[in-house]
A and B are shown apart, each in its own frame.
Chain A
Amino acid sequence: MAYSDKVIDHYSNPRNVGSFSKDTPGVGTGLVGAPECGDVMKLQIKVNVETGLIEDAKFKTFGCGSAIASSSLATEWLKGRTVDDAAKIKNTDIVNELKLPPVKIHCSVLAEDAIKAALEDYKEKWTKSEAPAGQSAS
């Protein structure tokens, strides 16, 4: 399969690879996919609790080049957005930006799921109660 230049760029120079400690205030973690399916994404956002702005984002992905590129792109897009704005990122935006072929659309879906999971985790932990809740199920 031929890859688009953008997929190759994100694969070769992935943005924002890494992890935040899950207990850091404002950090939301999404972990989606399954090893036996060949795709697992961990996507984290670090939100300024005062302003509601996503100040930083990081990812780690087990998966094909398109999965790595999708999550790398997602972290790029998340930075600087408000939490509400971040929820508007759709998998189709990722498909269009990376020119993913039909067989790779599931990679973009997984990235959208990871964004949603990270946002939910953030809300769960840092907006509902004072004390951080327990770690997310995943």
Chain B
Amino acid sequence: MSDVVYINSENAAKDQWKLLAQYAYPKNIVRYLQQHGFVHLEKLVEYIAGCFRQSEAYFIAAENSPIYISPLLQYYGAVTLLAGASAMARGAQLTIKGHGMIIPNAANIKRIADAQIIPRGNGALQQFADIFSPGSSFVNGEPWTMEEILGSVPDLKPDFENCYQEAVPYTIPIEVVKRDRDSLERISKKDLTRFEIPDDALANIENLLHSYLIPEITNQYVILRRKINSSEIGVYSLFNRKHLQIAHSKKGKKLTPSQIIIMFMGMFSLGFLSRYHPDFWNPFVRSDETGELLLVEKFIAVCQRYFPNLVLNEIQESRIQFVNKTEGTVDLSTPSFARHLNENSIDIRGVSKREVP
């Protein structure tokens, strides 16, 4: 999904829901289903419309609620949104029984990071992963920790590393360098200091060598050049920063869930803890002394803003990036334009910018 669509907005959080809300209208749903070759049953259309309406309501409620209940409301919003989007993707309502994950050690944790999420059966987690994270086949009974989940969200990287001094992140930020003659990507070596063996971090990025030439290591950077005709790998943060994801190793199997699924697991965990373990959640929210609360709040904020955006991207099969730019100006004063003129032998010397109408 490398096609980027820029949408001008003064309030991206609001406008993403306006774009999603179009799928709360039966006519739009019918058109979408027809375009994707599905039969549009009235019941299915109403189900999808209802999911989108409910999801928005849950997310709004989460936004306006205290952290004692907001994680649960947000999780409900996420489940409902994924249910609606899945029905659109498959042309049928999924038969989901259960969340598809449990938190067995919820009663015994001291940190959020220690909460274990164990995938179980063919529940919501696996069914949504089949659609929004193809290839992510969760291993039944193999635990994930919230530390892994939080370390896999690109937008949390600095906060994650600040909060957990010894933890290893699962995401590596990339700098995309565009030059006159070429473009390349690079990883600052500073971003690899958390890894005991930086080469292992690179070796655990799935499809790295399908997408890039052999990484070249200089004193400052790991230089990555895309292979010709290769598919892009990696994910983008809310602010359009590219990241490469490091695979999670589960019983010898490498798994790299998409951001949607990572956030979904995290939201489930926080929703579960806040709803069923107030004995942990209340003191944590009231008097956390470690700073972990800041990270959790940031995770909730990132999910609130970015999760619907990511689902919208899936539905519209493009990467929607909200920007805030002046419209209607064609800037011809850039060096590249001057160069273009020069190449085409048009002499623009002697004409000041002010004289150009």
> Do A and B belong to a common assembly?
no
By a beta-carbon cutoff of 8 Å, the part of chain A in contact with chain B is: none
